[in-house]
Amino acid sequence: MMGMIRIESCGRTDVGMRRSNNEDTFVSSPELGLLALADGMGGAASGEVASGIFADTVLELLSNGSPPTGEEAEDLVRKTFLLANQRIRELAARERSHKDMGCTGEVVVFTADGYVLGHVGDSRIYLFREDRLRQVTKDHSFVQEQVDQGMLTLEQARVHAYRHMILRAVGIHDSVAVDLISGKAYPGDLFLLCSDGLTDMVEDSLIEETLASDLSLEARADRLVRTACDAGGHDNVTVVLGLVLQTG
């Protein structure tokens, strides 16, 4: 049996201050070395249907118990996104009330000595390592594309009228392109998965400060959610934290 990375994890979600329903879903499964998050979109309550399908598919495909190798994990993560995409499309085609629903998707799977993550949309995955916060994923959004082209500054992008226009989502088109990123994991690494309900409201520097605190993992997650709500809570706020305790 190969060594398994041991993690501690927790998730917190809040409807926020302005929404009546919560379309975010998360998975925090330390025993499986599995973290996931989805932010649903679509009319009425369809967003939460889409994000729920994504979370269910993640648990179904990635919970076989033995830590996959890096290659196997990449394959499984890609398959998870494709299958969730297909299931959301099929349900939307069957039921008119679910037409045009979709979701963002974030997954982190820990392998024997590292991690593989999958990313679609504008939810984010950060890595807090050696007291530095780094955004690992890149938003699939209109404003991010404008920033990349030098048309907008990061400050302008934060308040831009089209900042919620995303260019990729799970369930919107027949196929979905998934960003796959892998790396080595080290004891003390702290992964943060979050919906834009956090990052729209809370600056990275404040997120970094919270993650650097001596609070328990749960208390840090609570504080991030509360900070976003106190800042206005314009959207559902969801965070998942995964702390690497030991490797191999």
Tell me if 156 is assigned to some domain. Answer: no
Strands 179-184 and 190-194: unpaired
Buried b (16+ CB within 10 A) or exposed e, 142-169: bbbbbbeeeebeeeebeebeebeebebb
Residue 167's pLDDT is what?
94
CA torsion sign for 40, 60, 128, 168 is negative
Angle subtended at Cα 236 by Cα 195 and Cα 210, rounded to the nearest 5 degrees: 60
Instruction: Please tell me the distance from the alpha carbon of residue 118 to that of residue 186, in angstroms, as a whole number.
Output: 19
Whichever domain contains 239, its CATH number is 3.60.40.10
Tell me if 148 is assigned to some domain. Answer: no
Tell me if 1 is assigned to some domain. Answer: no
Residue 44's pLDDT is what?
64
How far from the centroid of its chain's Cα atoms is residue 85's Cα?
16
Rounded mean pLDDT of the chain? 94
Q: Phi-psi category of 188—alpha, beta or left, where left has phi over 0 and alpha has psi -120 to 50?
A: left
Tell me if 155 is assigned to some domain. Answer: no
Tell me if 74 is assigned to some domain. Answer: yes
Tens of pLDDT, residue by residue over 188-231, are 999 999 999 999 999 999 999 999 999 999 999 999 999 999 99
Tell me if 152 is assigned to some domain. Answer: no
DSSP state of 124: E
Considering only CA atoms, give the Rg of the chain: 17
Q: Does residue 130 have a pLDDT over 50?
A: yes
Whether 146 contacts 152, CB under 8 Å: yes
Domain count, the chain: 1
Tens of pLDDT, residue by residue over 18-48, are 988 999 999 999 999 999 999 999 866 699 9
Tell me if 51 is assigned to some domain. Answer: yes
Residue 69's pLDDT is what?
86
Tell me if 59 is assigned to some domain. Answer: yes
Residue 248's pLDDT is what?
72
Domain span at residue 180 reads 6-135+169-246
